[in-house]
Each structure stands twice: as C-alpha cells, then as structure tokens.
Amino acid sequence: MKDRTMIYQNEHFYIEKEEHELPWVKIFTKTPYKELTDLPQPIFNELWSLYAEVETIMREYFQPDKINMASFANMLPRVHLHVIARYTDDAYFPNPVWGEKLRQGRKIKEDFGAFYALVQKRLKEKEEEL
C-alpha cells in the first residue's frame, strides 16, 4: 500500500493507524460526511458493525483496561471514529487522551505492526463470510 498510515480498506471504509504511544486507529468513511447522521442508514449500520469488529480485535490483542471511542472532526468536519486502548497506568488515564497528561505512561509491550496485520486479516476473513 502506498499510504503507510492505512491498515485496511473495503468498499465503504478505510482504517488508519494513529502514530501514538497507545494503540489507536481511526475508521473513516470513503465518502466524506460531516456528521454521523449524514451517513445513509446502511453505511451508518455498517460503520458500527465495523467498529465492533475493530474494538473486539483491539480488546483481544491488547487486553486494555478500557476502550475509548470518539467522533470529533472539529478541525476538518469529516466523520471518523477514534478507537483507543487505554490502561490505568498510561500517560493520561483516567483523562481522555485529549486531556491533561498526568505521568510518564507505561510502555506497551505488544507489537503494533502485528496488531495492524491482525486487523487486516480478521476483517478480510469477515468480508469472505458475507
């Protein structure tokens, strides 16, 4: 793939990694929409189904203390979901990662590259089931 931030794409969505000390991916619709309620109903439903897959894989792989999910897009009004694995000893916890940094956070021991590869593999398998 030319775009080194993209880790998966299908007909309606693509998923990017966020370069961060925490596990963090972003789910975008290929067609840009300003708000979640601007998505056509089938795309809205498909987004949440895809989100659930990504959250499930992230929980299995990183065993985080909590998942954080958010949709802001204030700078550039183009809907996308942030999916972030959180730990009680990460740099911001219990603040959102957009809040105040409270400490030197834990070093994540899992391999991020292997996680991105797993996301791609599992979502491709899911596609073939349909």
Q: Which is nearer to a copy of itself, 74 or 104 (CB)?
A: 74
Cα gap 51→101, rounded to integer Å = 27
Beta bridge partners, 61, equal: none
Kindly list the distances between the CA atom of residue 67 and the CA atoms of 17, 32, 85, 103, in Å, as whole numbers in the listed order.
16, 25, 5, 19
Q: How far is the CB of 5 from a copy of itself (least distance, A)?
A: 21
Q: Are 14 and 6 in contact (CB under 8 A)?
A: yes
Q: Which is nearer to a copy of itself, 99 or 113 (CB)?
A: 99
Q: How far is the CB of 24 from a copy of itself (least distance, A)?
A: 14
Structure tokens at 88: 């009680």
For the chain, the straight-line distance linking the first and the last C-alpha, in angstroms and rounded, comes to 24
Q: How far is the CB of 130 from a copy of itself (least distance, A)?
A: 16
Query: What phi, psi does 81 have (nearest 5°)?
Result: -105, 135
Residues 50-109 that bind a copy of itself (CB under 8 A): 51-52, 55-56, 59, 65-75, 77, 86, 93-96, 98-99
Residues 20-39 that bind a copy of itself (CB under 8 A): 34-37
Q: Kindly list the residues in this chain that would bind a copy of itself in the complex (CB under 8 A).
A: 34-37, 44-45, 48, 51-52, 55-56, 59, 65-75, 77, 86, 93-96, 98-99
